[in-house]
Amino acid sequence: MASRPATATDIVDCYRVIFNREPESAEVISHHLAAKPTLSEFLKRVISVPEFAWVGQRAFTSFAWNPGLYGRVDVTGSASDIETLVEHTRKVWADYGDQDPFWSVLTNDKYHASSISQGDINEFYASGAIDCREMEETLRRVGLSLPAKGTALDLGCGLGRIGEHVSKRVKEYVGVDISPPHLRQATERFKHLGHENARFILLPELLKADLKVDLAFSLIVLQHNPPPVIALLIDRLCKLLKEEGILYFQVPVALTNYEFNLKEYAASPPAHGLMEMHCIPQREVYRLFEANDCQVIEALPDARIGHIGLSYSFIAQKRKR
């Protein structure tokens, strides 16, 4: 397997797992691919660089998962419970949008509002091309593609980091977020860029909208919502799909030492501060697909949360009636 050609996805995953960061730019990925290395050759190159000596060994030795180390995870609740959870999430992310919008999307210290430079901002938006390219490559591998003549919906679009690259490849782009401050900045950014095929809506509107899309995607977003909200959002994304519409999203399916008791959480939600991390059991994801007549195309383990648990990227498609 290691003798196959390295792909852009391989390179991104190596950076995330080994160096705990994103590649510097799309150009860096292209540079690595220019020599057409096999995966084995690329890994040999990675372990030869000085950065690996500092963080690589620690990443490899700490990447361990014990499936017995997590407990009860509540994924359903009453309408009142869900409303309470959504409102808590809205307040937290609206605060992030006002106080630290770039860091809230990519939690790298250089993106804190107190120190971010224009160069950092440019790099922040350029990094969205990496995720867009990875999504394109992953879909292509299973015989699918971005809907060039259709509508793509970006759940948890934040500041439009990935969306500004996706919007160039589709007829219509819809960015959705729970945070008004994030959406205001995204709207201004797209207006500045002249992307006239885009519109932005708040999550409560999406939950009620009569909308059908060709592609719905979400990356490094669902994990910051309590499990019942994750389930609600996956269910809603499934329902938004047109026939043969594509769903592509990433979510942790297990976290070490994690449990979620809805009653206890709703009674005393975490204070604003550290970024919340949640998961949804994989069986619940499949249950939601089945309930919404969606066929699983692939479930791919990814490296987006490092060694703290298991994250998967799911590809599903609405069945043709």
Q: What pLDDT score was predicted for residue 60?
A: 42
* Secondary element (H or E) of residue 46: helix 39-46
Residue 1's pLDDT is 46
Task: Please write the tens of the pLDDT for every residue from 262-299.
Answer: 999 988 888 765 689 999 999 999 999 999 999 999 99
Identify the CA nearest to 203 among candidates 222, 185, 220, 227: 222
* Nearest-angstrom CA–CA distance, 299 and 282: 10
**Which phi and psi angles does 287 have, rounded to 5°?**
-60, -40
Q: Which amino acid makes up residue 303?
A: A
Please list, in sequence order, all residues whose beta carbon lies within 8 angstroms of the beta carbon of residue 143, skipping any fewer than 6 positions away: none
Tokens 């697909």: give the residue: 289
d(CA 188, CA 121): 14
Q: How confident is the model at residue 116 (pLDDT cuts 50, 70, 90)?
A: very high
Spatial distance between the Cα atoms of 139 and 145, rounded to a whole number of angstroms: 5
Indicate if the pLDDT at residue 145 is higher than 80. yes
Interval 97-117 mean pLDDT: 92
pLDDT in tens, 30-73: 888 888 888 888 887 776 665 555 444 444 444 455 555 567 89
pLDDT of residue 3: 67
User: Starting from the edge strand earliest in sequence, which strands make up the sheet with 151-155, in order?
Assistant: 198-202, 172-177, 151-155, 213-218, 241-255, 309-318, 294-302
Q: What is the pLDDT of residues 151-169, one digit of tens each?
A: 999 999 999 999 999 999 9
DSSP 249: E
Q: For the chain, what percent of residues have pLDDT higher than 70? A: 90
